[in-house]
Chains A and B, each alone.
Chain A
Amino acid sequence: MGKIKYHILVCVGTACQTAKSEEILKNFKELIKVKGLETEVQAIQTGCFGFCENGPIVKMMPDNTFYTKVTPEDCSEIIDEHIINGKKVDRLLYVSPETKESIGDSRHKGFHKKQIRIALRNCGFINPENIDEYIARYGYQALGKVLTELTPEATIEIIKKSGLRGRGGGGFPTGLKWEITRAVTSDKKYVVCNADEGDPGAFMDRSVLEGDPHTVLEAMAINGYCTGADQGVIYIRAEYPLAVERLKIAMKQAREYGLLGKDILGTGFNFDIEIRYGAGAFVCGEETALIHSMEGLRGEPTVKPPFPSESGFFGKPTNVNNVETYANIPPIIMKGSDWFSAIGTEKSKGTKVFALAGKINNVGLIEVPMGITLREVIYEIGGGIRNGRKFKAAQTGGPSGGMLTEKHLDTPIDYDNLIAAGSMMGSGGMIVMDEDDCMVGMAKFYLEFTVEESCGKCSPCRIGNKRLFETLEKITQGHAIAEDLDKLRNLSNVIKDTSLCGLGQTSPNPVLSSMDNFYHEYLEHVHNKKCRAGNCKSLMQYLIIAENCIGCTLCARNCPVDAIAGERKQAHLIDQEKCIKCGACMEKCKFNAIFIN
């Protein structure tokens, strides 16, 4: 049997599909048959190329020719010219808008890709359990470079100039943080890696640690050199066993090569790292709580100042950075601050990793340059909303963030724009919601999380969030009055202003942001006792249509709470007081006699 020589890859992503890509695929398959090329040429569907504005996309293998804006009529020309005559169909090649040059090869630099992988550069590429693969990709050379060629001050200057800001959520300039820690005089200093990723739906840091643990170790050593610390500590939640395992393997291998330990690369610099485990409390992502937890104390925050840079782990100056922040350090050192600061927006440089989740087709991990729009993220990279539903909102920043709505679809995503939009960057969770999601219910979901995770040290957070949650519960159950909405807003503002740490200061954000953007839904819940998304069970009513009901008694027999009454062969009735809205009756009814109001 002869081997297949050519492949025709046809994108059947949502956008290309609307532009007839299925017909294109069908045409190719037919033409291949008609021309008797089955043993040599194969046409096949693929996922999205992320180049939707130029779709439908057809890619030819093995020569990587990339045809754009293909129509079903173009198929025969492609087969005749490209495959039979071996000539590219020039008019279908992509023309670079900048250089006006037609680009035939999909690997050409002119193809502007929506995603740039800096922090994730090695994830899914190297074997994370083999240090050699990291070294082959220039691993530890950034450390070597700073130790042999740069002073700590010069290194900090590079980081400062790059414009890198903390990727854990706050967005504090990383270089400045290092400089502050360096400026403090002390006999002992620490650098800490905050791997206490706890937002619902976020897994960026876990992926970096599992896919490229050495980059974090290398960056921590660089940080140690810059701040004057010889000891690093990784604070990681015990719920990440694989990340812990791979970190341990990485640390062992780095020590064997002498890339951690004493006299690294013969420069006299000593640095080693240990791991401390967290029990998975959300508040321990806050740096003072994190430090207390590392010290073996209860994971509770304390008032800042003093900042950890002055007095942190065991009272010593401590520099805390997040996993993703660290993952950006080695490339910045290797490629320079100008390279990094050329990516992104004016005040937010580089890229950000997002964990795309919720009602989106391509749930996954993406890394995009700052300044990309929500529309590009959702519709091009994310492949659009699941089942063709309508986009309603995207929650960024997890329980500390807010909702971005349709009006924010074209806002460039960066630290400052997100804050202006009433949300925040956060660590990078992005949960997409469609028209079937109730916004009051979402706010309630996040509040339930914060109530659970509040450490209880300060009253605004401990009591206030609980009251917020109860009020939201009242609204979703249809017991609220108009006054409750004002209370909700006032209390939210008080909690924001008076809480001790970041957890409480941001926990009302989902409430405020959903009230700002979807106030009409709140009003509907309160005044009309209606949930337009159909999520709030208490506001739903299962009703029987008397005309359709033949009185078969099936529903009554299946109701777990005996809420359905009625004689045989007569229309039944649901007792709304007793009904628990389980839906069993509707499922059983064979006559479409039950509906939800």
Chain B
Amino acid sequence: MKSAYHRLYKIFTITHIMEKIKSLSDLKMLQESLSAKINLREKINNSDALIQVKVAMATCGIASGAREVMEVFIEEFTKRNIDAVVTQTGCMGYCYAEPTVEITMPGVEPITFGYVDIKKASKIIDKYILNNELVDGIIPVNYETIDVQ
């Protein structure tokens, strides 16, 4: 189980060589290229768009089993040859429903699932990811996030 987590770390932490950013315009250029990359990944109706899974991994999430849930996603995706990006993120704020997982299917608004244990994680893959069928425990996003730009 541990190896999957470490493998993930290799994949999703920075792999390119970090060069110093020498000026504000360099920083802006980097921002543009990075967000273009992310947009491509998320682009609606893009056949190359990937399934994205974000697992809330703050202390509270990890304490309620988010790490194991993340491993299930990674292992199942590998086993079933599903192209997906699994990443960790911080607290989504839904402590009552930890572990929480946000799933973005290409072209569809992200859906956040609460109370995701190992069993539910497999169920989400079977039902939602493979068959677009929702499962119980959906948490509607009821906040607005500011756009810094």
- Judging by beta carbons under 8 Å apart, are B27 and A141 in contact? yes
Q: List the A residue with the shortest CB-CB distance to B145.
A: A117
CA distance A23 to B12 in the complex (A): 45
B50 at the interface (CB under 8 A from A): no
Query: Once the chains are docked, how many angstroms separate the CA of A44 from the CA of B139?
Result: 12
> Assuming the A-B contacts A141-B31, A211-B89, A242-B62, are A253 and B14 also in contact, with contact meaning beta carbons closer than 8 angstroms in the complex?
yes
Assembly CA distance A11 to B142 (angstroms): 12
Assembly CA distance A147 to B22 (angstroms): 13
- Measured CB to CB, the closest approach of chain B to A10, in angstroms, equals 10
> Are A210 and B91 in contact, CB atoms less than 8 angstroms apart?
yes
Q: With an 8 A cutoff between CB atoms, is A128 at the interface?
A: yes
Evaluate contact between B12 and A130: CB separation under 8 angstroms. yes
A265 and B21 within 8 A (CB): yes
B23 within 8 A of A: yes
Interface string of B107-149 (1 = CB under 8 A from A): 1110000100000000000000001111111111011111011
Contact B146 A132, beta carbon cutoff 8 Å: no
Q: Across the interface, do B139 and A47 meet the contact criterion of CB distance under 8 Å?
A: yes
Q: Which residues of B contact A135 (CB under 8 A)?
A: 27, 30-31, 34
Taking CB atoms, residues of chain A closer than 8 Å to B95 are: 363-365
Specify the chain B residue showing the minimal Cβ separation from A362.
Answer: B96
Please state if A206 and B59 are interface contacts (CB–CB under 8 Å).
yes
Whole-angstrom CA separation of A65 from B145 in the bound complex: 20
Q: How large is the interface on A (under 10, 10 to 19, 20 to 34, 35 or more residues)?
A: 35 or more
Q: Please tell me if A596 contacts chain B, counting CB pairs below 8 Å.
A: no
In the bound assembly, the distance between CA atoms of A117 and B144 in angstroms comes to 6
Residues on the A chain within 8 Å of B132, using CB: 3-5
Which B residues, 59 to 107, have Cβ-Cβ distances below 8 Å to chain A?
Answer: 59-60, 62, 87-97, 102, 107
Q: Which of A93-139 contact B (CB under 8 A)?
A: 107, 113-118, 120-133, 135-139
Which residues of chain B have C-beta atoms less than 8 A from A51's C-beta?
Answer: 142
* The stretch of A329-337, A453-461, A508-516, A554-562 that contacts the partner chain: A329-337
Say yes or no for B4: interface residue by CB 8 A criterion.
no
Q: A61, A128, A242, A334: which contacts B89 (Cβ < 8 A)?
A: A128
Q: Which residue of B lies closest to A63 (CB)?
A: B109
> Contacts A4-B131, A120-B93, A136-B34: A203 and B60 contacting too (C-beta < 8 A)?
yes
A64→B148 CA distance, assembly (Å): 25
CA–CA, A257 and B19, complex, Å: 6
A42 x B109 contact (CB < 8 A):
no
Q: Give Cα distance in the complex from A552 to B2, angstroms.
A: 55
Measured CA separation A334–B146 after assembly (Å): 11
Q: Given the complex of chains A and B, what is the CA–CA distance between A207 and B93 in angstroms? A: 9
> Is there a chain A Cβ closer than 8 Å to B6's Cβ?
no
* A1 interface residue per 8 A CB criterion: yes
Residues of A within 8 A of B149 (CB): 138, 334
Bits for A331-348, please: 1 = Cβ < 8 Å to B, else 0.
100110000000000000
Bound: A593/B58 CA distance, A: 48
Pair A136/B27 contact, Cβ less than 8 Å? no
Cα-based distance from A47 to B115 in the complex (angstroms) = 12
Known: A114-B142, A115-B143. A130 touches B14 (CB 8 A): yes
A559 to B137, CA, bound (A): 43
Which positions 27-71 of chain B face chain A at CB distance < 8 Å?
27-28, 30-31, 34-35, 37-38, 54, 56, 58-60, 62
List the A side residues contacting B138 at CB < 8 Å: 9, 44-47
Q: B109 to A265, Cβ gap below 8 A?
A: no
| A284 contacts B by Cβ under 8 Å | no
Q: For the complex, is B3 an interface residue (Cβ under 8 Å from A)?
A: no
Report B-chain residues with C-beta under 8 Å of the C-beta of A122. Answer: 90
Contact B148 A335 (CB under 8 A): yes
The chain B residue with its CB closest to the CB of A131 is: B14
| Complex contacts, A144 vs chain B, CB 8 Å | 24, 27-28
Q: Are A207 and B142 in contact (CB under 8 A)?
A: no
Q: Select from chain A the residue with minimum beta-carbon distance to B91.
A: A207
Taking a contact as CB atoms under 8 Å apart, the answer to whether A115 and B34 are in contact is no
B27 (CB) vs chain A CBs: closest residue: A144
- Which of B13, B62, B90 has the most CB atoms of chain A within a 10 A radius of its CB? B90
B18 at the interface (CB under 8 A from A): yes
List, in ascending order, chain A residues with CB within 8 A of B20's CB.
256-258
| Inter-chain contacts of A364 with B (CB < 8 A) | 93-96
Inter-chain contacts of A132 with B (CB < 8 A): 14, 34
A45 in contact with B148 given A61-B108, A147-B24, A207-B91 (CB within 8 Å): no
Residues of B near A242 (CB, < 8 A) are: 58-59, 62
A266 to B25, CA, bound (A): 11
Contact B140 A11 (CB under 8 A): yes
Q: For residue B140, which residue of chain A has the nearest CB? A: A49
Cβ of B146 and Cβ of A331 under 8 Å apart? Answer: yes
* Contact residue among A48, A130, A365 (Cβ-Cβ distance under 8 Å from B140): A48
CA distance A147 to B62 in the complex (A): 38
Assuming the contacts A61-B109, A127-B89, A147-B24, asked whether A116 and B14 have C-beta atoms less than 8 A apart, the reply is no
A366 adjacent to chain B (CB < 8 Å): yes
Do A265 and B22 contact each other (CB < 8 Å), given the known contacts A61-B109, A123-B90, A132-B34?
yes
Closest residue of chain A to B16 (Cβ to Cβ) is: A132
Q: Which A residues between 133 and 180 are near B, CB-CB below 8 angstroms?
A: 133, 135-142, 144-145, 147-148
Given contacts A120-B93, A363-B95, contact A59 B140 (CB under 8 A): yes
Binding site for B on A (CB under 8 A): 1, 3-5, 7, 9, 11, 42, 44-51, 59, 61-62, 64, 107, 113-118, 120-133, 135-142, 144-145, 147-148, 203, 206-207, 210-212, 240, 242-243, 253, 256-259, 265-266, 330-331, 334-335, 361-367, 381
> Nearest 4 pairs between A and B by C-beta?
A211-B90, A50-B142, A115-B143, A124-B92
Given pairs A42-B133, A116-B143, A141-B24, 14 additional interface contacts (CB within 8 A): A47-B97, A47-B114, A50-B142, A59-B140, A62-B107, A136-B34, A137-B148, A144-B27, A144-B28, A203-B59, A207-B90, A258-B22, A334-B149, A364-B93
Query: Can you pick out 14 interface pairs between chain A and chain B where the beta carbons lie within 8 Å of each other?
Result: A5-B132, A7-B134, A44-B135, A116-B145, A117-B143, A136-B35, A140-B21, A210-B90, A243-B59, A257-B21, A265-B21, A334-B149, A364-B95, A366-B143
